[in-house]
């Protein structure tokens, strides 16, 4: 039975033993409805809602098979407010305020995730840096800039013919320019690192290509980017890969984007943000699949 589920939870490894699911949204295609519920350890699933707090004039499951869709959940003072495809769908009241939402988990019968944003409602819901006409395979934004010591870890898979290429880019909040473009070319078996100059160009003189080629088309990999005092530290599949010095101008980052060329396909299976230390050992550890 086709279905899609979205969980807001404090733990993704407990398998409902010590995990609290503050909100579960389940789109059921056979029944044509979206069910909202919650799970508490020792108490089980509770507060199942189908028609209650339903505020939509359309169908109870507005998702269409084969079409893209968006879920947006706002955490308010007394409830979650749920939007489906940018239309208010309904709300879900919580018993106590969910302070420990550490994970968002999406699973079920869908192809891939192309956007994940964690934003404050005010002052900016959808930041300017995320508006881009290029071929974006995935993009994400967090509500505060990366501090020194931040590690972004991603489980990804690249598919396509031998000419497939993909890039993972970190963008400056203020200018929208890329401060690191990590570009993988399977045809040339090269990994280049570069940044976007003030005129928005990428200059060959700024590229670094030293290092091995640890990527295989069609095979899952995990990559971690650590923000150091002067450089990005990068590890792939549990091994230190390289570093890339920051460009010589101030910047702040909260946005990452992944691009492909016309023939490639790139999917992000998991995305993690960490901010404890020490940095180098943590970058390597967090890149272990």
Q: What is the CATH number of the domain that holds 90?
A: 2.60.120.200
140 and 234 inside one domain: yes
pTM for the predicted model, two decimal places: 0.84
86 and 21 inside one domain: yes
Indicate whether 155 belongs to any domain: yes
103 and 201 inside one domain: no
Where is the domain boundary, 84, 111, 138?
Answer: 111
Say which DSSP state 171 is in.
E
**DSSP letter for each residue of 234-281:** EEETTEEEEEEEPPSS---EEEEEEEE-TT-EEEEEEEEEE--S-HHH
Indicate whether 209 belongs to any domain: yes
Domain count across the chain: 2
Distance CA 125, CA 106 (A): 21
H helices present in 41-148, as ranges: none
Cβ atoms of 191 and 276 within 8 Å: the answer is no
Cβ atoms of 194 and 208 within 8 Å: the answer is yes
83 and 31 inside one domain: yes
Angle at 213 between CA 212 and CA 217, to 5 degrees: 170
State how far Cα 150 lies from the chain centre.
15
Judged by phi (left if over 0) then psi (alpha if -120 to 50, else beta), residue 106 lies in: beta
87 and 182 inside one domain: no
32 and 144 inside one domain: no
135 and 266 inside one domain: yes
Residue with tokens 């963008």: 171
Indicate whether 188 belongs to any domain: yes
Say which DSSP state 9 is in.
E
Reading the chain (289 residues) residue by residue, the pLDDT tens digits are 688 999 999 887 655 567 899 999 999 998 899 999 999 888 889 899 988 878 877 788 899 988 999 999 999 889 999 999 888 999 999 888 887 888 999 999 998 898 888 877 655 555 555 555 567 889 888 767 888 889 999 999 999 999 999 999 998 877 888 999 999 999 999 999 999 888 888 877 788 999 899 999 999 999 999 998 889 999 999 999 999 998 876 678 878 999 999 999 999 999 998 876 667 788 999 999 8
Indicate whether 86 belongs to any domain: yes
28 and 99 inside one domain: yes
Which pLDDT belongs to residue 203?
78
Indicate whether 133 belongs to any domain: yes
Nearest to residue 244, comparing CAs of 191, 289, 203, 201? 191
Which pLDDT belongs to residue 1?
65
Indicate whether 176 belongs to any domain: yes
Where is the domain boundary, 65, 86, 111?
Answer: 111
Residue with tokens 């396509």: 160
Indicate whether 146 belongs to any domain: yes
Domain range for 102: 3-111
69 and 145 inside one domain: no
186 and 233 inside one domain: yes
Say which DSSP state 30 is in.
T
Neighbouring-strand partners of residue 104: 8
41 and 89 inside one domain: yes
63 and 181 inside one domain: no
Where is the domain boundary, 62, 79, 111?
Answer: 111
Helix (H, G, I), strand (E, B) or coil at 156: strand
Indicate whether 121 belongs to any domain: no
Which pLDDT belongs to residue 285?
92
């Amino acid at each position: 039975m086709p279905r899609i589920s979205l969980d807001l939870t404090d733990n993704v490894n407990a398998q409902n033993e010590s995990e609290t699911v503050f909100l579960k949204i389940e789109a059921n295609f056979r029944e044509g409805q979206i069910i909202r519920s919650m799970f508490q350890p020792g108490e089980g699933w509770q507060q199942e809602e189908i028609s209650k707090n339903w505020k939509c004039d359309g169908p109870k499951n507005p998702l269409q098979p084969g079409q893209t869709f968006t879920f947006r959940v706002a955490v308010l003072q007394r409830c979650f407010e749920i939007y489906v495809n940018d239309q208010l769908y309904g709300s879900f009241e919580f018993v106590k305020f969910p302070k420990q939402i550490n994970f968002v988990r999406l699973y079920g019968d869908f192809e891939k995730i192309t956007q994940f944003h964690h934003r404050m409602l005010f002052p900016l819901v959808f930041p300017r840096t995320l508006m881009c006409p290029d071929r974006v395979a995935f993009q994400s934004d967090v509500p505060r800039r990366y501090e020194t010591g931040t590690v972004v870890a991603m489980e990804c898979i690249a598919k396509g013919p031998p000419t497939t290429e993909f890039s993972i880019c970190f963008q400056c909040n203020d200018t929208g320019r890329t401060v690191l473009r990590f570009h993988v070319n399977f045809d040339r078996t090269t990994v280049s690192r570069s940044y976007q100059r003030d005129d928005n160009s990428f200059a060959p003189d700024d590229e670094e290509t030293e290092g091995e080629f640890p990527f295989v088309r069609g095979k899952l990999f995990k990559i971690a980017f650590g923000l150091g005092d002067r450089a990005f530290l990068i590890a792939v599949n549990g091994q230190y890969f390289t570093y890339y010095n920051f460009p010589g101008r101030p910047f702040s980052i909260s946005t990452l984007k992944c691009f492909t060329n016309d023939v490639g396909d790139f999917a992000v299976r998991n995305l993690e943000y960490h901010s404890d230390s020490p940095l180098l050992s943590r970058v390597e550890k967090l890149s272990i699949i």
